[in-house]
Amino acid sequence: MSFPEIDPVLIHLGPLPVRIYALAYIVGIILGWSYLGRLLRQPQLWNPRGSIRNPGSPPLDKEKLDDFVTWIILGVILGGRLGFVLFYRPELIVEPPSAWPQIFGVPIWTPLAIWTGGMSFHGGLLGVAVVTFLFARKRGTDPLRIGDLLACAAPIGLFFGRLANFINAELYGRATDGPMGMVFPKLYDSERGEWLYGPEDGPGLYPREEWIETGQAVARHPSQLYEAALEGLLLFILLRIAVTRFRILRFKGAATGLFLAGYGLARFTVEFFREPDSYAATLGFLTRGMLLSLPMIVLGLFLFYRVHPKLGGPKGAKA
């Protein structure tokens, strides 16, 4: 398979490039926001048939949801960036000021230089958890019920985020001889308007044809697409069925547990095909992504186990 070589910069607004990666975040947030609004307008999902055993009305109204989205954006961006630094690149914390990136001639501490790249899903998840707790405390709402609501829309953002990773030719997979193998470029030359290929470690950049002719090209799994399919599309479908068919939003923690366990299992599986980050230590065959996903699986199964009798056991038959 050939890498599609999509220009990662959609348009230029003067000197400012508008990147597809940033637009993917924006589209994911807008669609997720819209989807959450739809769920809030369906009271039967939260309190079908008026059963007194159900938790009642949704945890947010439209006004609170609109306010909460701002908190979520901050949690995703700050948590995702700080998580990347703490989990994968802690040496950036003590990087000397002379190495700090600059914006308009002003040096910015590298962990805060989001535009240089580097985000972590697990860090973003922790950031969202923190802002959810703070928002719920401020508004007098149960944070876990808000978490259930967010869990339903999170796969939407994950789907578009992984597609953006693919377009950026980043976070690709391990080498393979299979039919899904794809040769990924090393970087995009904005001045020449083309992708360039070369060794992962070492000098030398070539257009695709010249690089393949050298005989050094290595085909790899498009693991970004695997993650988009599993963490995004499949997980969204599972949550959608669980919400509309089994009404799991009635039971506090069920949707959160399903999302955490589902994402953790999907990410753990894809890590077998994804090239481990060269700067992140591993533990035997366990990559950093696997190690960070294991607590998600455990916590997700625990939350789901707490409500399991209500969902499918003998007691749940009367709910």
* Alpha carbons 149 and 133: distance in angstroms, whole number: 14
The answer on pLDDT for 233 being more than 80 is yes
Residue 162, marked binder: yes
User: Same domain, yes or no, for 214 and 260?
Assistant: no
Asked if residue 197 and residue 233 are part of one domain, the reply reads no
Specify whether 174 is located in the same domain as 188. no
221, 172 contact by CB (below 8 A): yes
- Same domain for 299 and 199: no
Q: Indicate whether 194 and 252 sit together in one domain.
A: no
Question: Same structural domain for residues 92 and 171?
Answer: yes
Find the domain containing 201 and state its range.
Answer: 184-218
Looking at the fold, whether 189 and 300 belong to one and the same domain comes out as no
Give pLDDT, residue 215.
Answer: 62
**Domains contained in the chain, number:** 2
Same domain, 47 and 115: yes
- Inter-residue contact 172 to 184 (CB < 8 Å): yes
- 3 inside domain: no
Q: Is residue 282 assigned to a domain?
A: yes
Whether the pLDDT of residue 312 is over 70: the answer is no
Query: Which of 128-132, 205-209, 239-243 comes out lowest in average pLDDT?
Result: 205-209
145 & 204 share domain = no
The dihedral built from the CA positions of residue 217, 274, 194 and 279, taken in this order, carries a sign that is: negative
13 lies in the same domain as 47 = yes
- pLDDT for residue 314 is more than 50: no
DSSP state of 231: I
Please check whether residue 4 lies inside any domain of the structure: no
The region of weakest confidence among 155-164, 217-226, 272-281 is 272-281
Please report the pLDDT score of residue 203 as a whole number. Answer: 64
| SS3 assignment, position 112 | helix
One domain for residues 40 and 188:
no
Instruction: Give pTM, 2 decimals.
Output: 0.85
